[in-house]
Amino acid sequence: MGMEGLCGVISCKRSRIRRKRIPVGIIDHDDASHEGIKTVEANNRCEFSNNSDVCICIVTWNMNGQVEYEDIKKLVGNERKYDLLVIGLQEVPRTNVLELLKNALLESHVLLGKAVMQSLQLYMFGSNKSEIHIQAHAHKVEERNSECRHISHSLFSKSLNPYAKPAQVTVWLGDLNYRLQGINTFPARNLIHKNLHELLTPKDQLLQEAERGQVFNGYCEGTLAFKPTYKYNIGTNDYDTSYKVRVPAWTDRILYKIEDKEINATLHLYESIEGIHSSDHKPVKAHLCLKANKS
């Protein structure tokens, strides 16, 4: 099965560009139905390409302007049987991160393609065996919605690009900057400390806005079973202790939508990488396997 339909959109923080509001639903290719985001339980058992046509590992990480090679190795991991590795990075330092990735993946994967816009970088690696800028701060949720709709409209609108081939699979990954709404930092942290962070998902702005039909209608996302990925004290697994004591949030997300009914998708993993400490964000990783229906 060809992967020309896979589209990654990398997103970051704090856009200064004001966009005209795009009508609700445009992000979903003019689909007027309202589904919100479908939460998918990850099936941790994967036989990789034995039962799938393509297995994809997807990673997003806001690097906060710094990097250590040991963290790059943790980012790509040791288990690399997947066919494709898609890495979206935000706030990338001036260090040649691509060379670090190539070195870490030397024995398993080769670079297939890249898209670089200064500190926003997207890389796709293939097995050698077979951004955009999103508004920060909790109160800017409508600006965030508008920017996501604008990005999607620019990429997928048939009126803007009538010759573009329809996407088979669409993947959004990045620091989308949606926060927790209606809860203060210390009650939120108390739930996280007790490993009850899944009780915070009803407060998640992204899920709320999708339920309202504002963004990402019909997309899928794994269960938010991992702890909120922002904001940490650098070098630790402790949440922000600055004077702002920010409310923890799942700012870093991976969502996907299967556009082709002849493709079956199975999510095998959706987690954060807590062992990386060089940024105030934790990376998020997803493992998605695709199989074309036999006709």
What are the per-10-residue average pLDDT scores of the chain (295 residues)?
A: 40 37 38 79 73 90 96 94 93 95 95 90 87 57 69 56 74 95 97 98 97 93 98 97 97 94 93 97 96 79
The answer to the question of residue 214 being in a domain is yes
CATH number at residue 193: 3.60.10.10
Q: Determine if the pTM surpasses 0.75.
A: yes
pLDDT score at 6? 43
**Tokens coding 25:** 């639903």
Q: How many structural domains are present in the chain?
A: 1
pLDDT score at 22? 30
The answer to the question of residue 176 being in a domain is yes
pLDDT score at 16? 33
Residues 6+ apart with CB under 8 A from 212: none
The answer to the question of residue 20 being in a domain is yes
pLDDT score at 163? 64
User: Residue 194: left (phi > 0), alpha (psi -120 to 50), or beta?
Assistant: alpha
The answer to the question of residue 49 being in a domain is yes
Contact 223, 164 (CB under 8 A): no
The answer to the question of residue 106 being in a domain is yes
The answer to the question of residue 36 being in a domain is yes
pLDDT score at 260? 87
Contact 59, 75 (CB under 8 A): yes
The answer to the question of residue 1 being in a domain is no
pLDDT score at 174? 95
Q: For tokens 């079956």, what's the residue?
A: 264
- Residue 7: is it exposed, middle or buried by C-beta count within 10 angstroms (0-12/13-18/19+)? middle
pLDDT score at 89? 97
Give, in order, the Cα–Cα distances in Å from 132 to each of 57, 112, 114, 288.
Answer: 21, 21, 15, 23
Residue ranges making up the domain that contains 92: 6-292
pLDDT score at 294? 74
Strands 6-13 and 54-62: unpaired
The answer to the question of residue 114 being in a domain is yes
pLDDT score at 12? 41
